[in-house]
Amino acid sequence: MLVEQYNTHTMTDRSALDSLVHTNSVSIEDSRLIDNAWRGAEAYHFLLLAQRQLYEGFTDAALRTSHALVDYEDVIPNETIYAIIALTATIARSFGTCSNAFIKLENVESMEARVEYEALAVEIFTRYPPRDSRTQKIECTNCEGSITDYGNTCGICDTKYPRCIVTGAPLTSVHFWQCDTCKHRAQETDIVSFSTCPLCHTLIA
């Protein structure tokens, strides 16, 4: 929120912006923080959302949301990311996705954890072949392609769609709600039951 205030101030106060440019008072680290201020919040928002969807029984939604975490490996530990993907994929019976997650888990630093993951993978994949029972496809609005494998990028034109902060699903509609404060988006039909932004908790006017 402080970074948003800073951005608003520097955009409206030209003299302050010129001063920053000429004195080079903003470090590289500060610049990265300003440019990616919401990144950490996004990461943990989607982590909590995936867990909530999983516990409420929305396994397909949870699997799609957990895939969003792959974009935040610099924020959330890899083991946490791929453990929730593996767990959710197992429940959703998407064993191909589950297998890919276990490949990541079998490379964790802890030898003890690595052995446990290898044993668990053997237990699962001796019973179930490592392939997904179904795939979810969302049509791309820019070409004739589709978004597959629970991601948010078109396989043909490489268009990357933002994720809805309510559901975690790719936001392909041209009509959407956007928070005035954090600028994150949601499907209009999904945000109607919220009185505050799901990410920054600003009251919705």
Query: Along the 205 residues of the chain, how does pLDDT read in single tens digits?
Result: 777 676 666 655 555 555 555 445 555 555 555 557 889 999 999 999 999 999 999 999 999 999 999 999 999 999 999 999 999 999 999 999 999 999 999 999 899 999 999 999 999 999 999 998 777 778 888 888 888 778 899 889 999 999 999 999 999 988 999 999 999 999 999 999 999 999 999 999 8
Structural domain includes residue 75: yes
pTM, two decimals, is 0.83
Q: In whole angstroms, what is the distance from residue 146 CA to residue 139 CA?
A: 4
Q: In whole angstroms, what is the distance from residue 75 CA to residue 68 CA?
A: 12
Say how many C-beta atoms besides its own lie within 10 A of residue 110's C-beta.
10
User: Are residues 121 and 156 part of one domain?
Assistant: no
In contact, 98 and 130? CB cutoff 8 Å:
yes
Structural domain includes residue 95: yes
The H-or-E segment that residue 138 falls in is strand 138-139
User: Are residues 203 and 143 part of one domain?
Assistant: yes
First to last CA, the chain: 18
Q: In whole angstroms, what is the distance from residue 102 CA to residue 117 CA?
A: 7
Give the range of the structural domain holding residue 100, as residue numbers without chain letter.
39-125
Structural domain includes residue 34: no
User: Are residues 117 and 85 part of one domain?
Assistant: yes
